[in-house]
């Protein structure tokens, strides 16, 4: 044992460091909430930031300065003027579970390597499955993100529809799998398809209605056309909700179509599937309980730190289908179907102690905290869209249903290309100023500002301030005062 290792493993050194870091984090949260911290994202070009951290490594190490700098230099998701990508303002004690995870480092691939997180994972996935309307036969797992969750569910779909042991035998002649999904789907669905080797033809895009929802009246035609092309359509994916516009597909109709045609029904509820557990917004996910598989990200609308994703199967035994692999040194054949060896059901071998992150919040605040988080953020989205619709400076491309609100500054006297350019410049200027963090998207080929109210501490004041700032910045760029 070297002196350095003795110091690095010293519990008393850790105790002091942890107390100091927790104080810095708590101060940071306070400064974010009360906006003493003025910049949501202290802007630097990537190369400049790289230079900063290269140089920092060369300076004399000071514990507090290092961590304070790390906190200050980065994006502040807990700031009420953060309205950007769909990563939640995590409930702070999620950070304590992360600390425990790092300190105990239970690998959790098999029961013995993570006995507590394994049991907790079972409790929280059972709880969520029941809360969205699945029955006792259901089961689920936790995995590292919605993208991996979609892949995991679609691997099960593929196996269930193949009619032979596809895992062992690979794709056989005459089986050209494809799935149907709206053009609004998150790119991870297409990525999963390409990863499984189905090629570009494996994604059949079903047209949407004018609210960007999959149009169920188009499903028959899409299915027939795909079959004529020799494709074996195995599944339909419903968005709950879509990433760009936050709209929910008609899940009940899709479920009925899948039942009639014997197709797997997967719901990508990474963002909005959790609405199913809230009394106020569960109508949006009506039909989710009919899905064969559902993905829900705890790190989007359930207040847990990233990455923590549930993949839920209505028929629990399907959860063993995605990775039908034997690895004798870790998974004994007779144990394959035992729920407590996480690695048989997830792509990860070694896995974070994800169950603890969810369980600890469930234990501390009860399920109501998840309901309150989503409901508050969706309510704020509604309030924001009402504010937008009251001003002739802005256009809403559709009536938002969630906390994802897209809009843009308009001036009817300007060409559409010019309005696109102005909105893109407005966003760039605003985020570089640090005053707000918002994103942008393309809707029907035009540029829109896209906001996701991810922080329940955001108020009407921040939303009004953002609209004033967008207007005044856009007017400057348009070269005229309206």
Ligand X SMILES: Cc1ncc(COP(=O)(O)O)c(C=O)c1O
Q: Count CB atoms within 10 A of the CB of residue 254.
A: 28
Question: Residue 93 burial (CB < 10 Å; 0-12/13-18/19+)?
Answer: middle
Query: In 3-state terms, what secondary structure has residue 268?
Result: strand
Q: 152: exposed, middle or buried (C-beta count within 10 Å: 0-12, 13-18, 19+)?
A: buried
- DSSP category for residue 207: P
Helix axes 354-365, 115-131, angle to 10 degrees: 60
The residue length of the chain stands at 482
User: Nearer to ligand X by C-beta: 131 or 154?
Assistant: 154
Q: Write out the DSSP string of 277-337.
A: G-TTTGGGGTTGGG-SEEEEEHHHHS-PPSS-EEEEESSGGGGGSTT----TTTS-GGGTT
Residues 6+ apart with CB under 8 A from 136: none
Query: C-beta of 99: minimal distance to ligand X in Å?
Result: 22
Question: Least Å distance between CB 322 and ligand X?
Answer: 16
| Identity of the residue, 258 or 307, whose beta carbon is nearer to ligand X in the bound complex | 307
CB of 307 to ligand X, least distance (A): 6
358 in Cβ contact with 366 (< 8 Å):
no
Would you say 296 or 469 has its CB closer to ligand X?
Answer: 296
Nearer of residues 271 and 427 to ligand X, judged by Cβ = 271
Please identify, using beta-carbon distances, which residue of 86 and 138 lies nearer to ligand X: 86
* Closest residue to ligand X: CB criterion: 146
Q: Which is nearer to ligand X, 215 or 268 (CB)?
A: 268
The tokens of 477 are what?
């760029």
CB of 82 to ligand X, least distance (A): 16
Residues that bind ligand X (CB under 6 A): 86, 145-147, 186, 188, 243, 268, 270-271, 297, 307, 309
Nearest residue to 107 via CA among 349, 280, 463: 349
Minimal distance, residue 237 CB to ligand X, in Å:
10
Pick 106 or 188: Cβ nearer ligand X: 188
Closest separation in Å from C-beta 39 to ligand X:
24
CB of 149 to ligand X, least distance (A): 7
């Amino acid at each position: 044992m070297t002196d350095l290792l003795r110091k690095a493993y010293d519990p008393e050194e850790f105790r002091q460091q942890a107390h100091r870091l927790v104080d810095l984090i708590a101060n940071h949260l306070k400064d974010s909430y009360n906006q003493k911290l003025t910049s949501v994202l202290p802007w630097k070009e990537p190369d400049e930031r790289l230079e900063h951290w290269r140089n920092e490594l060369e300076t004399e190490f000071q514990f507090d300065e290092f961590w304070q700098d790390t906190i200050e230099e980065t994006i502040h998701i807990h700031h009420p003027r953060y309205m950007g990508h769909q990563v939640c303002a995590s409930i702070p004690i999620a950070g304590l579970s992360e600390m425990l995870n790092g300190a105990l480092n239970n690998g959790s691939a098999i029961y013995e390597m993570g006995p507590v997180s394994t049991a907790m994972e079972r409790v929280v996935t059972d709880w969520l499955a029941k809360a969205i309307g699945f029955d006792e036969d259901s089961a689920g797992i936790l995995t590292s993100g919605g993208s991996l969750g979609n892949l995991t569910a679609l691997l099960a779909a593929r196996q269930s529809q193949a009619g032979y042991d596809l895992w062992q035998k690979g794709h056989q002649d005459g089986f050209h799998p494809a799935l149907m999904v709206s053009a609004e789907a998150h790119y991870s669905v297409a990525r999963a398809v390409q990863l499984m080797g189905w090629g570009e033809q494996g994604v059949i895009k079903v047209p949407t209605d004018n609210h960007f929802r999959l149009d169920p009246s188009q499903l028959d035609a899409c299915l027939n056309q795909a079959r004529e092309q020799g494709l074996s359509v195995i599944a339909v994916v419903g968005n709950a909700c879509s990433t760009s516009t936050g709209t929910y597909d008609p899940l009940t109709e899709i479920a009925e179509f899948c039942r009639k045609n014997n197709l797997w029904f997967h719901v990508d509820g990474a963002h909005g599937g959790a609405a199913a557990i809230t009394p106020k917004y569960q109508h949006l996910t009506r039909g989710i309980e009919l899905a064969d598989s559902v993905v829900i990200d705890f790190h989007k609308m359930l207040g847990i730190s990233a990455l923590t994703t549930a993949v839920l199967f209505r028929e629990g035994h399907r959860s063993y289908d995605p990775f039908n692999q034997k690895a004798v040194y870790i998974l004994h054949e007779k144990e394959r179907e035992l729920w407590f060896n996480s690695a048989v059901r997830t792509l990860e071998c070694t896995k974070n102690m994800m169950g603890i992150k969810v369980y600890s919040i469930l234990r501390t605040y009860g399920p109501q905290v998840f309901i309150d988080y989503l409901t508050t953020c969706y309510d704020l989205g509604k309030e924001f869209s009402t504010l937008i619709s009251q001003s002739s400076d802005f256009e809403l491309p559709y009536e938002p249903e969630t906390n994802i609100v897209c809009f843009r500054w308009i001036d009817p006297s300007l060409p559409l290309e010019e309005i696109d350019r102005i909105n893109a410049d407005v966003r760039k200027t605003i985020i570089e100023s640090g005053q707000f963090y918002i994103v942008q998207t393309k809707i029907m080929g035009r540029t829109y500002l896209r906001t996701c109210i991810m922080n329940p501490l955001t108020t009407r004041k921040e939303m009004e301030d953002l609209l004033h700032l967008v207007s005044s910045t856009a007017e400057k760029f348009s070269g005229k005062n309206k």
